[in-house]
Structure formats: C-alpha cells, structure tokens
Amino acid sequence: MQIVFGIDFGTTNSALSVYQNGTVEVVAVDGTESGGELMRSVLYFNEEHEVFAGHEAIHQYVSDGAVGRFMQSIKTFLPNTSFVTTEIFGKRYTIDDLVAIILRKIKARGEAHVGCSVESVVMGRPVVFSKDAAKDAVAEQRLEKAARKAGFKNIWFQYEPVAAALTFEESLKPGEERVVFIGDFGGGTSDFSVIRVKGGAFDRSDRRSDVLSLGGVYVAGDKFDSQIMWDKVAHHFGRYARYKTMGKDDWNSIPKSIIYTLCQWHRIPLLRARKTRELIRVIKGTADDRRAIEHLENIISDNYGFFLFQAIEKAKCELSGQEMTRIDFKDRDLNITEELSREEFETLNGDNFQQIASCIDEVVSKSGLQTAQIDTVFLTGGTSRIPLIQALFTERFGRGKLEQRNAFTSVVHGLGSSVPLFV
Ligand SMILES: Nc1ncnc2c1ncn2[C@@H]1O[C@H](COP(=O)(O)OP(=O)(O)OP(=O)(O)O)[C@@H](O)[C@H]1O
Ligand SMILES: [Mg+2]
C-alpha cells in the first residue's frame, strides 16, 4: 500500500497532507504552534550551527535575543539566479539546502504520523515562479533538488490553484459540474486558474483538459507589508534624509536602493555588506536627520526587521476586519506609532491591487469564457481575507458567486487529492 505526501511549501506557511487508501488527510506539522496545522516557512541558525525551523525557529530567535541568522520568505529566492549560496556563520548553503531543511522536518512529522518512511511526494508550485521562463525552470529544479535532499525519491509537481480546485471539487454533489475561478492569495504570489470541476467519484484521468487557463503574479501579502513599510514606516529609517558629500554644498538623497531593500524585510541582511555599511556611516556624518540614520544602522546590526514586520503584518491583518488600526513598534529610542486606515492601506497599495486585477482579467480572458459563464469564484490563501481582494471579484462576478473556505489548507489538501493523477 502506497503512502504519498502532499507538501505545500509556502512563502509564509507550509503544510502537509497524507494520501493513503484513497483518502486524504491534512496532518498537523508544527505541533508547538496554536492550531498546529501549519508550519511557518522560517529558519533560524545560531552561532553554534544549530538550525531550527518553524515555530521553534521563532522561539529560539526570540529567546537568543535575535543574535543568530533568521530567514523567511525563502521561497521567493527560488527563481533568483543571482542567489547561488549564502554564508551563515562561515558555512555555505545553497537555496535548495535551506528549503531541504524545512522539507526534511515536514517529512519527519508526516512519517511519525503514519509510522513508516515515505519516499513519494506531490509538491505544490505557483503558476508563475518568474515571468522569465529560464528562471521559472530554475526555481522548480531547485525545489525538486530540495525534495531529493530531504529524502524523497518520487517527486511530482502540481499547480497550487489546481490543487485548491480539487479540494473545492470534493464539496460538490455527485454529478454537479461547475466552471470555477480559483484565486489563491498567499504571501509571495497570487495564483489563478479557471478550471472545470465535477462532484462525485474522483476522476483519475489526466485533468489537463479541464484547466481552461492559468496565471499568476508576484504580488501578494509580502508586497502589501513592504508597501506599508515604504509609505508609513521607512521615514523613521531615513527615507527622506539628506546628506552632503565631502567638499560639496548640495544635498543628496539617501540611495533609494537602500530604502527599497529595507522594505523587503527578508533582504535586510544584504545591507550588512561592508560597502553599504560604510556608505551609511558616511551619510550619518552630514545627515539632516541623524537619528533616522542611527535607526537604520540599528535595524541592520540588531536584526530586528522580523519584529518590525510582524507589527506591520498584524496591522494589515487587522484592517481585514476593521476600518482603522495602528502600527506600534519600539526599540531603544525608536518609538513608532502610525495610524493606518483601511482606505489609506488600499490607496497606498493601489498599484499592487491594479496588478492583481489585470492578472485576474487576463486569466478570465485566456479561458475564452465571459465572466457570466464562470459559475463560482473560490478564494483561498491568507491574503484572500483582504476586503478589497474580495471586492475585485464581486465587481466582476457578482456577490453570489463568491466562496471562501479553508484559507490555509485547501492547497495542501488538493495536493493530496492530486496523487492519483501521478501514481
Ligand atoms: N486576516 C488577514 N488579512 C490579510 N492578510 C492576511 C490575513 N491572514 C493572513 N494574511 C496574510 O496571508 C499571507 C499568508 O498566506 P498563506 O499561508 O496562504 O501564504 P503562503 O501559502 O505561505 O504563500 P504562497 O502561496 O504565496 O507561497 C501572509 O502574507 C499574511 O500576512
Ligand atoms: Mg500558498
């Protein structure tokens, strides 16, 4: 009897399902976390070269006083061909080494659950890792390599929104047929598919002809957080500071690239490069807002970007349920309190929402159908909780067509349901 795992390695959260005897079960993968179904896709290395994943990583990072190396949104590095290795306390890691650590842990959890070793896995992948086909292929190869390093021998890939569609299909009555628009809004990517689904006995045939269109865009939860950082918080770190170069009287703006990197929290460690730190030190010498530049130095050296972004993310999530919130954050003499309304959040992310909206229209148009011919819109993923995301669909399809369930597990469940398509 064959057991196959389904693994949704997400930008923010990862999850596991087990396919066994024709049924699929979602298995808690990070027992220490509340709920436990999901594992945060994060890693923490301490100076003794011990590595922790998921909740343990966050716990250890916090209790060590944020001294080691903490990594999140690792999935977004997969298509980045300029990222070859990273050095952590003198040891080199490739991107697939890092992903393998997380996959190995998930695999072990699953094996403890089923009581035997498992060598086959269906891995989820976004529809678009990168617009560049070569980079997209690199991303999938790296993910496959990671799965191999984690100990899997048979590895298949399924598109994340197609997996979500298979989960949705299971809620239909036998014989009930629908054309569904699937929207999976995660941390790194928003993935879409128009797909024909049918309730009843699971269809083991190749489902490719049921997929009418696929598409995706690299704009999701992380981008919204970055945008809040850019517009509401980055001024505390010198976004508008000016400085003078030696012997000249003109004011210069701080290089945009520094602030831009600061706004993608998982890239903040890149600012530790000697050249950049030296430049920041020089800027501080003549800056008109010296305190802001000191905060910039502190966030780089003290590595507290994670906590700052947690405060930002918390505010963003609150705005899904209320009109007004506040970003609160303190560190040494830094004291951030920024009011943020839902309306302002929507305005400052206008361009991001626009990119998502265009991609939705493109995927509908590629399907060859009119919106009226699409029966249901099924939304999943944490970011689908944002009211404006839902509004993008009610505007186009009408309120009655929207369905939302299992924001965090419909993809992983569907990866398990995909097993008969491959095995
Ligand atoms: N209530 C909420 N309102 C807005 N955003 C939310 C809410 N809850 C969670 N999120 C966001 O959802 C994202 C995580 O969702 P999810 O777990 O579906 O992503 P993922 O699967 O890890 O990412 P991806 O599929 O892109 O690889 C985070 O960006 C998080 O901030
Ligand atoms: Mg996801």
- Local structure of 401: helix, strand or coil: helix
Residue 393 lies in a domain: yes
Confidence of residue 200 (pLDDT cuts 50, 70, 90): confident
pLDDT attached to residue 265: 82
If asked whether residues 247 and 348 sit together in one domain, one would say yes
Q: Is the pLDDT of residue 349 over 70?
A: yes
Q: Residue 299 belongs to a domain with what CATH number?
A: 3.30.420.40
Of 52-66, 125-139, 383-397, the one with minimum mean pLDDT is: 52-66
Q: What is the pLDDT of residues 83-136, one digit of tens each?
A: 889 889 999 999 999 999 999 999 999 999 999 999 999 999 999 999 899 999
Distances (CA, A) of 60 to 39, 228, 309, 389: 15, 27, 18, 35
* Partner residues linked to 256 by β-bridges: none
The mean per-residue pLDDT over the stretch 39-57 comes to 93
Are 126 and 11 contacting, i.e. CB atoms less than 8 angstroms apart? no
- What residues are in contact with ligand 1 under a 6 Å CB criterion? 10-13, 75, 186-189, 220-222, 313, 316-317, 320, 381-383, 385-386, 408
Q: Is the pLDDT of residue 34 over 90?
A: no
Confidence of residue 391 (pLDDT cuts 50, 70, 90): very high
Could you give the percent of the chain with pLDDT greater than 70?
97
Tokens of 70: 């903490």
* Partner residues linked to 243 by β-bridges: 252
pLDDT attached to residue 36: 76
pLDDT mean across residues, the chain: 93
Residue 167 lies in a domain: no
Residue-range definition of the domain harbouring residue 353: 174-404
All residues with CB under 5 Å from ion ligand 2: 10, 186
* For ligand 1, atom 21: residue with the closest CA: 10
The mean per-residue pLDDT over the stretch 174-197 comes to 95
If asked whether residues 75 and 212 sit together in one domain, one would say no
pLDDT attached to residue 362: 98
Count of domains in the chain? Answer: 2
Confidence of residue 331 (pLDDT cuts 50, 70, 90): confident
**Residue 15 identity:** A
Q: Which of 8, 9, 13, 413 to mutate to test the pocket of ligand 1 (most atoms within 8 A of CB)?
A: 13
Residue 169 lies in a domain: no
If asked whether residues 295 and 363 sit together in one domain, one would say yes
Q: Is the pLDDT of residue 159 over 80?
A: yes
